[in-house]
Amino acid sequence: MDPSPQSPPTKKRKMATSTSTSTAAPAVVEEHQFPLPPILTHPSAAPPTLITQGAEGRLYKTTFFSPDIPCALKYRPPKPYRHPVLDARLTKARLAFEAKVLERCRREGVPVPAVYAQNAAAGWIAVEWIEGAPVRVKINEWLGQRPKNEEEERSAAEQDQGPLIELMKRIGAAIAGLHRTGVVHGDLTTSNMMLRPHTKKTTTTTTSEQTNGVSKEEENAKLLEGDVVIIDFGLANQSQSDEDRATDLYVLERAFASTHPRAENLFEHLLESYKQSFKKGASVLHKLEDVRMRGRKRSMIG
């Protein structure tokens, strides 16, 4: 789930009078391309917004009880290619397990969204809406401010890469906490991690500093500030196996190299932070070498 804003595939049908005081313009009644899940057809303070659609489900932004409490609602619609009874059982089991994993991670202090409500039989789960942007977006934005010439990039001082190195360490620590609870994510990518801004107080101070003449380097460094939150546990599993944990890291390593090739050499900082934050980190990284070797063999064989 990559909760970066996208334009929902909707069709404007007609104008209607809005009862909300937050906007002066009339509201637009939207006809969704996909039928809304029943839970979202009830009157609410704000219309649901389709954020993204994947192979297994759709992600909506809506509110939870109060207009000022945004939440993310993940809905798994029925699959017409499956037998209805089997599909209902799989959907119910998958969502119930996802909620269980999230609640377990929250209890252990792992940075994941809180579960607000769920109805596995109806195919939906409502979780905390994480403000900010995906880590993928922020890293690419930061890299876009860097020299694009290879020689200039290589000659850049180590301290210039400090903000990204610190982010990599925070990611490593977050994954270590996840694995410590006995959970493997199954789809670790920088798209499935959010960079949540710090509190409003910190943001206000930062804005004040910018008005007093902050250097370009300091301004770019602020792109990578925030707390790392791991999202989308649709493929998660419970496991204490070093093999499964190493596979989790290998999936992230391959995805990181593909998505952020200019920062591939900094992935080692993530692994070092993982090792320092997790008592079994050394054995997991040793197993990671075996997983890499098997991956190379598969690539050679095709």
Domains identified in the chain, total number: 2
Q: 185 and 232 share a domain? A: yes
pLDDT band per the 50, 70, 90 thresholds, residue 42: confident
The answer to whether position 186 is within a domain reads: yes
The answer to whether position 263 is within a domain reads: yes
The answer to whether position 51 is within a domain reads: yes
Q: What CA–CA distance (Å, rounded) separates 47 from 49? A: 6
Q: 168 and 246 share a domain? A: yes
pLDDT tens column, 96-140: 999 999 999 999 999 999 999 999 999 999 999 999 999 999 999
For the chain, what percent of residues have pLDDT higher than 70?
76
Q: 262 and 153 share a domain? A: yes
Q: 143 and 88 share a domain? A: no
With contact defined as beta carbons under 8 Å apart, do 280 and 242 qualify? yes
* pLDDT given at position 16: 38
Q: 280 and 238 share a domain? A: yes
* pLDDT given at position 33: 72
pLDDT score of 247 more than 90: yes
Last residue in a domain, options 103, 128, 153: 128
Q: When comparing pLDDT for 151 and 197, which is higher?
A: 197
Q: 142 and 98 share a domain? A: no
With contact defined as beta carbons under 8 Å apart, do 274 and 173 qualify? yes
Q: 194 and 284 share a domain? A: yes
Q: What CA–CA distance (Å, rounded) separates 43 from 119? A: 19
Q: What b-and-e string marks burial along 243-262, b requiring 16 or more CB atoms within 10 Å of the CB?
A: ebbbbbbbbbbebbeebbee
The domain spanning residue 227 has which CATH number? 1.10.510.10
pLDDT score of 29 more than 50: no
* pLDDT given at position 35: 86
* pLDDT given at position 155: 54
The answer to whether position 56 is within a domain reads: yes
pLDDT tens column, 176-232: 999 999 999 999 999 999 999 987 554 444 554 444 556 666 777 788 999 999 999
pLDDT score of 292 more than 50: yes
Helices and strands per DSSP (H, E), number in the chain: 9, 12
Q: 139 and 243 share a domain? A: yes
Q: Which of 61-70, 193-202, 251-260 has the lowest mean pLDDT?
A: 193-202
* 248 tagged catalytic: no
pLDDT band per the 50, 70, 90 thresholds, residue 27: very low
Q: Which of 160, 187, 244, 248 is catalytic?
A: 187
With contact defined as beta carbons under 8 Å apart, do 71 and 63 qualify? yes
pLDDT score of 26 more than 50: no
pLDDT band per the 50, 70, 90 thresholds, residue 243: very high
Could you tell me the two tokens for 53?
């659609």
The answer to whether position 182 is within a domain reads: yes
* Mean pLDDT on 73-86: 94
Query: In 3D, which of 261, 281, 263, 260 has the Cα closest to residue 272?
Result: 281
* pLDDT given at position 17: 37
The count of other CB atoms within 10 Å of the CB of residue 126 is 23
What is this structure's pTM? 0.81
pLDDT score of 32 more than 90: no
Q: 137 and 278 share a domain? A: yes
* pLDDT given at position 169: 97
pLDDT score of 151 more than 70: no
Q: Where are the alpha helices (DSSP H) in 34-161?
A: 84-107, 135-144, 150-155
Angle, CA 231 vertex, CA 200 and CA 268 arms, to 5°:
90
* Mean pLDDT on 266-277: 97
* Mean pLDDT on 69-98: 94
Last residue in a domain, options 84, 103, 128: 128
The answer to whether position 20 is within a domain reads: no
Q: What CA–CA distance (Å, rounded) separates 263 from 165? A: 10
Last residue in a domain, options 63, 98, 128: 128
With contact defined as beta carbons under 8 Å apart, do 43 and 67 qualify? no
Q: 152 and 277 share a domain? A: yes
Q: For the packed helices 281-301 and 267-277, what is the interaxial angle rounded to 10 degrees?
A: 140
Q: 190 and 50 share a domain? A: no
Q: When comparing pLDDT for 245 and 208, which is higher?
A: 245
Residue range of the domain that includes 60: 38-128
* pLDDT given at position 127: 97
pLDDT score of 147 more than 90: no
- DSSP secondary structure code for residue 147 in this structure: -
